[in-house]
Amino acid sequence: MGPVCWSYDLVIIGDSLAAVQGAIWAATVCRVGLVIESRGQLEFDYLNLALTKLPTFLAPSQKHLWIQGYLSRCQDRYSLGALAQAGVDVIPSPGYFQKIPRTQQVEFVVGGDHLQAPAFILVDRPLASPGNQPDRTPGTILKTLADSPPLWVDVPGTQLADLVLLKLCRQLDIPLAWGGDLEQLLPDEDPLVLDWLGADLEDRNCSPPAGPCLNLTTTLEGVPQGLANLHLSGLTTVAGAINVNSHLQTAEPQIYACGSWLGGYDLPMITVAEVKYLIQGLIARPQQQPLNYKTLPWWLASPVPIARIGWHFQKAQRAFSQGIYAYPVQAEHFGLGYGQIVVNANQRLLGATLWGEGAIAAVRTLGLGIETTSVQDCLAAAGWEIAVHPRQQGASCTTD
């Protein structure tokens, strides 16, 4: 039997939850194929999601069971059968791109199947299982920590995703040693973020005690190697990431890329926004404007939530010539968070850096009015307030 050609409106290639959810969204309006090489990244995304929803009042032993149950529910929700019922055609094998003979079009080849579509989306590079061992999934890690807890856990901290492992150890009251360099993980970031995260890590960090430890880390496949596997090595930039235009389109017009393929911060909420943007543009709004990253809220999987949106003070100072002001803010309900906002001379909100249990919900709301709405209206909608009145000396500013 010769090669079999399959025609789709869109093919999504990726192992992450963002890729799976994107395929489900697209399947409501078009014929979509989803290529999943492995489920390592997907399982890790389930763990990250579980930790964001974990009830804080549970005892460590109960948290083990709650997280395990949540992982099982995610596996059922996004199983191959569930995806098929949602209209997603899943191809659970690796493949590569090649040119269609006598045309300038590309297709994706998986085994003997040739997947053809007007557009292909690359979503996230493959992520190795934590600990770089194929059998070490979040589920098996959780079982190990519950049945035979180590004296401590070593987290080298080479990727932002390692913060998820740190958060897991904190929730289960297991001592850990973090070896990551925050300035390397978060270059050019708001100093407030580095200070808050550094203080939290220092508070949780331990000196390695004598005795056995469990080494946990996450490893993304390198961009050049990943592209070589896809036969797309011509798309790399000097920095190593895939080169895309403002619409996330690569040098190969049919192929789009997002998430960790682009370098920079590898955060799931940003990847989800990129996938939604691409699907809307390819299917519903072909002439849409470029994605405005300054309006995208994002947060870290840190022990205490740290969330950001828009400009931080130092970058706003360098980018704008008019007066830029920074004010301390706090949640109206005491104890839910505090932080700093950045506004311009017209009192329009340019950005926010928030810390605390209410930070994530707040930046999601603030994102609805970033650069367009007065700071007072934005804060009121989010349930936050300025901690020091703008007329007081506490506000930082820069002027022309």
Q: pLDDT digits over 163-187, tens only?
A: 888 888 888 888 888 888 888 888 8
299 has a pLDDT exceeding 60: yes
- What pLDDT, on the 0 to 100 scale, is given for residue 399? 44
For residue 400, pLDDT over 50 is answered with: no
Quickly count: other Cβ atoms within 10 Å of residue 240's Cβ: 11
Residue range 188-192: average pLDDT? 89
The region of weakest confidence among 51-60, 109-118, 303-312 is: 51-60
- Mean pLDDT of all residues belonging to the chain: 85
pLDDT of res. 391: 44
Q: 28-82 pLDDT, tens per residue? A: 999 999 999 877 788 888 988 998 888 888 887 888 889 989 999 999 999 999 9
pTM score, whole prediction: 0.89
Q: Model confidence at 157, in pLDDT bands (50, 70, 90)?
A: confident
Distance CA 49, CA 71 (A): 9
Kindly tell me if the per-residue pLDDT of 153 is higher than 80: yes
Which ranges in the chain are annotated with CATH 3.30.390.30?
Answer: 305-398
Of the chain, the percentage scoring pLDDT greater than 70 comes to 90
Confidence of residue 2 (pLDDT cuts 50, 70, 90): low
- Start and end residues for every CATH 3.50.50.60 domain found in the chain: 1-292
Percent above pLDDT 90 for the chain: 40
Looking at residue 133, what is its pLDDT?
Answer: 52
pLDDT of residue 207: 62
Give the model's pLDDT for residue 188.
Answer: 84
More confident residue, 236 or 231: 231
CATH of 305-398, one of 2.40.30.10, 3.30.390.30, 3.40.228.10, 3.40.50.2300: 3.30.390.30
Find which of 118-127, 130-139, 173-182, 283-292 is predicted with most confidence, using mean pLDDT. Answer: 118-127
Q: According to the CATH classification, is domain 1-292 in 3.50.50.60?
A: yes
Model confidence at 220, pLDDT cuts 50, 70, 90, reads confident
What's the pLDDT band for 206 if we cut at 50, 70, 90? low
pLDDT of 313 reads: 92
Span of 33-47, 78-92, 377-391 with lowest mean pLDDT: 377-391
Structure-model confidence comparison of residues 5 and 146, the more confident one:
5
Q: Quickly state the pLDDT bin for 259 (edges 50, 70, 90).
A: very high
In this model, does residue 394 exceed pLDDT 50? no
Task: Flag whether pLDDT at 392 surpasses 50.
Answer: no
Judge whether residue 398 has pLDDT over 60: no
pLDDT bin (cut points 50, 70, 90) of residue 132 is very low
Q: Which residues pair with 215 in a beta bridge?
A: 154
Q: Does 395 score more than 60 pLDDT?
A: no
- Report which of residues 79 and 141 the model is more confident about: 79
